[in-house]
Every structure is written in structure tokens, then in C-alpha cells.
Amino acid sequence: MGETIAGLERLGLEYFQDPHAFHARLREHEPATEVVLPRGLKVWLVTRYDEARMALGDARFSKDHRQFPDMVTRNHVGEAGPALFDQSLAAHMLNMDAPDHTRLRRLVTKAFTARRVEQLRPRVAQIADELLDGVADGATVDLIDAFAFPLPITVICEMLDVPGDERDDFREWSNVLVSGNDPEAMGQAGPAMAAYLGRLVQYKRDNPGDDFFSALVHASEDDDRLTEGELIAMAFLLLVAGHETTVNLISNGVLNLLRHPDQLAALRADRTLVPGAVEEFLRFQGPVNQATFRFTTEDVEMGNVTIPRHSVVMVSLLSANRDETRFPDADSFDITRPPGGHVAFGHGIHYCLGAPLARLEGEIAVGALLDRFDLALAAEPETLRWRESTLMHGLYSLPVSLTRRGAR
Ligand code: HEM
């Protein structure tokens, strides 16, 4: 991958443009390898499927940042840097172990069950239709700006009843915070985001509705299940997780259909393949590369390596989903392969809360696009640029030309 630092490979620009070949090389030798992140932090990167599931589901891999202060800000020689996150945004369930995790997750589970999410289907379809109505026949658009971003952000903002202005600022702060590579920009975006969410909570206090966010604000006032800090962090987690990922599900999925015309033709010919296609989007080139930081509470043996106690561990979901020992012919994109088994939504107690919603949005998005348009990639594939984020695997933009079906 180019540069090495202290004898370890550093994940650089090349890695983000094509992480798959690098992962395949690591998987051959060992299930987990020490690497250096762009900003200098040394982490163990878990790349094989079985070990990925183990690390995601095992309590010896803690998620509790509070137990490991400063660990994620260090460079490869152990010097601590500035805090990455405004602490008021960090007190959410994805940064906690049981029992705090259990308490917080219980407060929001009901709103995201498959049954509740299914009730959103007509509204999600309507939002998708409205967005596509705005695209002129024959236009070349950035599919991310025109469709893949506004669809999930509108859905999650409506679920939480968040007013529409400031959504662009929100997107920018959110992008900076999840990219995780620029401590200076993160130092500005964190407090701006925290202040915005604080205003939002106050707005909900002054204007309570019968929405789900108002119920959470109420829970923080009336009993001790949710502190003010946890409320702000919960809003942050739901809003960020609710759109940063699904935008990549839609755009990576469409990209892969365009790069595999036989698969696109098969999907056009038989729409019952849509749910399976979404599963293959998730497996083949999922929205999340490396799951969030974990910390070993003791030495952990993993195949032929031992990860020492108090190490920072990242599990590559992209890599696990390409592990040949679990997925035959793993590098081929096949929307008819038996679905399931992938770890694109994680595994264990932090398994994605929003998985039913993400699947629904993915299915509706791809169905609506195929119903209305013939699509073609409007850029050479090698000019497409992937975001330099260890967490998110998504493009900066996806130029596509759209021709209305039946309009020629
Ligand atoms: C295709 C889209 C999505 C993907 C691939 C995805 C992926 C993931 C993954 C991998 C995790 C676990 C991270 C870890 O263990 O380090 C996670 C957790 C989470 N996701 Fe998603 N997600 C998606 C959409 C959504 C949506 C739409 C929401 C809606 C609010 C959401 C809410 C959450 C929450 C709250 C957690 C934390 C759960 C916990 O800590 O118990 N996600 N997601």
C-alpha cells in the first residue's frame, strides 16, 4: 500500500481508492494485522470473516470509549493528540457496553422494528418519486446529490421531525465527523453539530409533538433513563447513522449495476430479484468499510496472532464480506447468490438498529430508478473518487445520465 511506518503499512490514498486487493493480501496471511491509519493511529485490522464475527460479538472487544480515554487520538508512537469528538456527541449506545448500551437501545428499538418500518413504505416511495420527478429527461446528474443523499436524510429527518433548513450544514459537519481523518476540521464540526442538536432538543421541548423524538425528549425529563447528554448523542447517532450509510448503499449499488450490465438486465427483467440485489449490494461493496473502534480488555488470541490487551481494533466488514471461505467466488457481483450471512450491518449487540429501514430505502430507491429511467455511467470508472474514510465506503459523486423510459 505504499508507505510503511514503524514497519507497518499505512493506509493511504491508494487504499481508499481500492481497499479490496489490500484486504485480500492481508487475509491470506493472518486474520488480523497491525496497520497505521492516515492520521497515525496504530490499530489491529481484522480481515477474515469468522474472526470479524467473533470480534464484533465478543465482550472482550469493548466499545466503551470512557474506559480508554485518549486511545483513539494517539499516533503510532503513542503520543496523544487533540480529542476527535466533542464529548457531548460521544455518549451514545454505539460507544457503550452493556448495561448502558442495553438501556439506551431499549429506548429506541420500537421505532425501528421491521413492522414499524414497513408502515413507512408509502411515504418513502413518495419521497423517491418526488426526487426523481425533479430530474429532467436526458439529464446528467450526480446521483448522490440528486437522489441517494436526499432520500435517506429526508426519511430520518421526518421520523425525528427535524426541520428542513440547516440540512446542508448538517451534511457537511456529518461528513467531516465520520471521515475521521482531519482532527482540525473535526474540532470545528463537533461543537457546531452539538450546538445544532442542542437547539433541536430545545425546539422539541418548546414544540412537543407525538413524534418519536419528542418521546425521547420527554424520557430525558421525566425519569432517569436518558440524560441530557445522552439525548443529544442519541439524536446525533440516529441522524448520522440514518443517512451517511444508506447514501452509499444506493450509490454503490447503482454503480455496481452499471458496471455489470448483465446483472442490471436481469434485475430489469425480474423485479422479484430486488431484495436479493440489495443484499448483494451490501455484501459486495457495502457502505461501511471498517466498523467503529473496539478496545481489547485482555490479550485475545485470534488464529495465528495475539492481539494484546488495550489495543485498538477495527473490523473490516468489506473484507469479511469478500472472504472466499464464506462466500464462493466472493469477488464476483451476483444478485442471484443466496442472500444473507454478510456482516454489512455488523453483528452482536451493536447490530445495526436501522437495518430494516436501510433495506426498505435501498429496495424502493433502486425500484423507482429502474421504473423511470435507463441509466448510464457518465464518467470513466477510474475517475470516480472514493471518500478517504476508514468508516464509510462511498463515492464523492456518481455522475449518471438518465433517460426516461418510454420517452424515446
Ligand atoms: C445500508 C445502510 C446501513 C448500514 C450498512 C449500516 C451499518 C451499521 C453497522 C455496521 C453498525 C455497527 C457498527 C459497529 O458495530 O461498529 C451499525 C449500527 C447502528 N446503525 Fe446502522 N447502518 C445502516 C443504516 C442505518 C440506518 C438507516 C439507521 C437509522 C437510524 C441506522 C442506525 C444505527 C444505529 C443506531 C446503530 C448502533 C446500534 C447499537 O450500538 O446498538 N443505521 N449500522
CA distance 43 to 51: 16
Mean pLDDT of 374-398: 95
What was the pLDDT predicted at 82? 60
Residue bearing the bigger pLDDT, 264 or 221: 264
Which atom of ligand 1 sits closest to the CA of residue 93?
Answer: 40
Half-sphere exposure of 216 (CA within 13 A, CB side): 30
Distance in Å, CA 288 to ligand 1 centroid: 9
At 304 the three-state DSSP class reads coil
Of the pLDDT bands very low, low, confident and very high (cuts 50, 70, 90), residue 217 is: confident
Please tell me the residue having the least CA distance from ligand 1 atom 6: 345
Which atom of ligand 1 sits closest to the CA of residue 359?
Answer: 1
Query: pLDDT tens digits for 107-135?
Result: 999 889 999 999 999 999 999 999 999 99
Of the pLDDT bands very low, low, confident and very high (cuts 50, 70, 90), residue 374 is: very high
- Going by C-beta distance under 8 Å and a sequence separation of 6 or more, which residues neighbour residue 124? 151, 155, 360, 361, 364
Query: pLDDT tens digits for 13-43?
Result: 899 999 999 999 999 999 999 999 987 889 9
CA distance 119 to 133: 23
Query: pLDDT tens digits for 173-215?
Result: 888 887 766 778 888 888 888 888 888 888 888 888 888 888 8
CA distance 2 to 261: 33
The residues lining ligand 1, judged by C-beta closer than 6 Å to any ligand atom, are 56, 93-94, 105, 156, 237-238, 241-242, 245-246, 249, 286-288, 291-292, 317, 344-346, 350, 352-354, 357-358
Least confident of 119-123, 169-173, 314-318, 387-391: 169-173
Which atom of ligand 1 sits closest to the CA of residue 349?
Answer: 41
Distance in Å, CA 244 to ligand 1 centroid: 10
Please tell me the residue having the least CA distance from ligand 1 atom 23: 245
Question: Is a pLDDT exceeding 60 seen at residue 369?
Answer: yes
Mean pLDDT of 295-320: 96
Question: Is a pLDDT exceeding 80 seen at residue 259?
Answer: yes
Please tell me the residue having the least CA distance from ligand 1 atom 18: 352
Percent pLDDT > 70 in the chain is 94
Distance in Å, CA 223 to ligand 1 centroid: 27
Question: Is a pLDDT exceeding 80 seen at residue 269?
Answer: yes
Q: Which of 105, 244, 345 to mutate to test the pocket of ligand 1 (most atoms within 8 A of CB)?
A: 345
Query: pLDDT tens digits for 80-108?
Result: 666 656 677 888 999 999 999 999 999 99
Q: Are 347 and 57 in contact (CB under 8 A)?
A: yes
What was the pLDDT predicted at 408? 47
Distance in Å, CA 353 to ligand 1 centroid: 6
What was the pLDDT predicted at 142? 97
* Structural domains in the chain plus CATH codes: 4-404 (1.10.630.10)
Distance in Å, CA 328 to ligand 1 centroid: 26
What was the pLDDT predicted at 83? 62
Distance in Å, CA 5 to ligand 1 centroid: 32
Which atom of ligand 1 sits closest to the CA of residue 108?
Answer: 35
CA distance 243 to 276: 21
Looking up cell 448538517 gives: 170
Which atom of ligand 1 sits closest to the CA of residue 96?
Answer: 40
Average pLDDT along the chain: 91
Half-sphere exposure of 1 (CA within 13 A, CB side): 26
Q: Which of 174, 245, 389 to mutate to test the pocket of ligand 1 (most atoms within 8 A of CB)?
A: 245
Q: Are 284 and 260 in contact (CB under 8 A)?
A: no
Q: Which of 285, 353, 391 to mutate to test the pocket of ligand 1 (most atoms within 8 A of CB)?
A: 353
Query: pLDDT tens digits for 58-78?
Result: 999 999 988 877 777 776 666
Please tell me the residue having the least CA distance from ligand 1 atom 32: 354
Mean pLDDT of 40-52: 95
CA distance 127 to 78: 48
Whole-angstrom CA distances from 238 to 61, 105, 157, 276 are 23, 11, 10, 26
Q: Are 47 and 23 in contact (CB under 8 A)?
A: yes
Q: Are 393 and 403 in contact (CB under 8 A)?
A: no
